[in-house]
Structure 1
Amino acid sequence: MICVLSQTVSDITGEIVEVGSAVRELKVGYKVVSKLAFWKAGGLAEYVAASESVTVIRPAGVSVADAAGLPMAGLTALQALKAIGTKFDGTGSASNILITAASGGIGTYAVQLTKLGNHNVAATCGARNLELVGNIGADEVLDYKTPEGAALKNNSGKKYDYIINTTNGGKWSAFKPTLSSHGRVVDVAPNFGNYVASFLTLFSKKRVSTVMLSLGMEDLRFLLELVKEGKLKTVVDSRHPFDKAADAWEKSLSGHATGKVIIEM
């Protein structure tokens, strides 16, 4: 089994070894992906019990690493894009979008999904990941430690229609000047200040809205299909054996992982 580190270790992929009497669709031997309940989690184990309602079959041709990263980070990125009305069938209109912390777990998925939605994508990350973020689809990548990057200024000078914020260090005061007249921040990692701003800007032309993950298994199947078709991939920072789980935790909690940190069992 493989688990992907998040604060609750809720993303897992593996093979079913036993099913309960109430299980109808899944069978022993099926290779699956699951998003364990947030309040239970516990994916850092050789065996875990998962509900059928939060478990889907991993399609043939989708690697365990690509599948394992999807449940929390992939679904969160997808929800942010759906919140701004993104279409993935070619019918949507293009917007100018900025993605913060684009080399992180949510950010790497968000960049790829934003391009699949035919948007123009600017992204922020550290200097060591500029090339990686460009390679997964960003039209322009800003080093957040430079003056231009800190000010979120792109080369074209265009304002952003949307900012997808994936870092809890992002501030409304920094975002607001870079937004178009009806621009919106979609915050998936809100800090206290942005929570307050989401209420204060509720009826403003420029505003902040926070997103909490609520997407289900059909959305996870959609992401898995994108992976199968080669349109989406999981960026893997590092892989760790089970007996090195402490090292994996240290890497994940450092805040500087590129993509996902994986533990293999």
Structure 2
Amino acid sequence: MEAPGFSTAARPQEVSAAEGAGLPSSGPSAHQALTQAAGIKLDGTGQLKNILITGASGGVGHYVVQLAKLGNTHVTATCGACNIDIVRSLGADEVLDYKTPDGTALKSSSDWKYDFVIHCASAGIPWSTFEQNLSANGKVIDLTCALQRPTFSKKQLVPMIINLKRENLEYLVELMKEGKLKTVIDSKHHLSKAEYAWARRTDGYANGKIIVEI
């Protein structure tokens, strides 16, 4: 398996080719957002953190949910109504339909403030919506590169620049081998039908990864 930047890791027999193909482009982003930007320890140690993950059923978001639950976290996730069961099965403690009033407002039923928001959703969300839900030292970690740093805010916006490392990819592969991480596969398409894969990618309803096979 090869990630952008030519980081590679061997694929064990326990991991299918399709599962492995989905990992390098998104898994390291999820891993670094949690461990580097948010400081979450994936061995379950550390203080309990309340985390919001937007776009939790997407290509990056579904990895973020699974990895976050390896740490000491309470995870609230947003996604479309049709993907709620999938996101819940990945370990999310609370799942919000982003089209409902609570989902639009990013309000968890626990009414906790978020220590970290891992923003994976492509849909625009006003900074004011994030701000009112953050704890005193809360941060928004932006994996979309779409948010602008609000200079008027006391809160911190963290745009992520992914630094791909082989050891990170190897760690994720080992988690997959152990059954602690999986690639949710939305659909598979032969290379000759790549246009169908792209159409599925852009229709806004895909969950997990779209795989093109040769």
The TM tier, using the shorter chain, reads over 0.9
Distance 1:196 1:156 in 2: 28
| SS of match in other structure, 1:175 | helix
Distance 1:248 1:182 in 2: 41
Q: Deviations over 1:43-65 (max 9, x none)?
A: xxxxxxxx5xx222112211112
The higher-RCO structure (CA 8 Å, 6+ apart) is 2
1:113 aligns with 2:67: yes
* Residue number in structure 1 paired with 2:198: 249
Which amino acid counterpart does residue 180 of structure 1 have in structure 2? S
* Residue number in structure 2 paired with 1:134: 88
Q: Is this contact kept in 2: 1:172–1:208, CA < 8 A?
A: no
Q: Is this contact kept in 2: 1:167–1:190, CA < 8 A?
A: no
Give the RMSD, CA atoms, in angstroms.
Answer: 1.3
1:165 aligns with 2:133: no
Task: Name the count of aligned residue pairs.
Answer: 212
Q: Is this contact kept in 2: 1:100–1:123, CA < 8 A?
A: yes
1:69 aligns with 2:69: no
Distance 1:140 1:96 in 2: 11
Q: 1:221 to 1:148 in 2, by over 3 A?
A: same
* Residue number in structure 2 paired with 1:17: none
* Residue number in structure 1 paired with 2:184: 235
| Identical positions, percent | 50
| SS of match in other structure, 2:47 | coil
After TM superposition, the structure 1 = structure 2 runs for residues 27-38 of structure 1, keeping only pairs within 5 Å, are 33-37=1-5
* Residue number in structure 1 paired with 2:40: 86
TM-score normalised over the length of structure 2:
0.94
Distance 2:152 2:132 in 1: 16
Distance 1:123 1:91 in 2: 22
1:224 aligns with 2:173: yes
Q: CA deviation at 1:234?
A: 0.3
| SS of match in other structure, 1:183 | strand
Q: Is this contact kept in 2: 1:239–1:263, CA < 8 A?
A: yes
Distance 2:96 2:131 in 1: 18
* Residue number in structure 1 paired with 2:142: 187
Distance 1:65 1:208 in 2: 34
Distance 2:171 2:126 in 1: 32
Give ranges in structure 2 of 5+ residues lacking alignment.
none
Distance 1:255 1:214 in 2: 27
Q: CA deviation at 1:167?
A: 1.9
Distance 1:138 1:252 in 2: 23
Q: Is this contact kept in 1: 2:4–2:164, CA < 8 A?
A: no
* Residue number in structure 1 paired with 2:57: 103
After TM superposition, the structure 1 = structure 2 runs for residues 142-153 of structure 1, keeping only pairs within 5 Å, are 142-153=96-107
Q: Is this contact kept in 2: 1:79–1:213, CA < 8 A?
A: yes
Q: Is this contact kept in 2: 1:186–1:209, CA < 8 A?
A: yes
Give ranges in structure 1 of 5+ residues lacking alignment.
1-32, 38-50
Distance 2:126 2:26 in 1: 21
Q: Is this contact kept in 1: 2:119–2:144, CA < 8 A?
A: yes
Q: Deviations over 1:66-122 (max 9, x none)?
A: 211111211111111011111112322220000001010100000000001121000
Q: Is this contact kept in 1: 2:142–2:157, CA < 8 A?
A: yes
TM-score normalised over the length of structure 1:
0.77
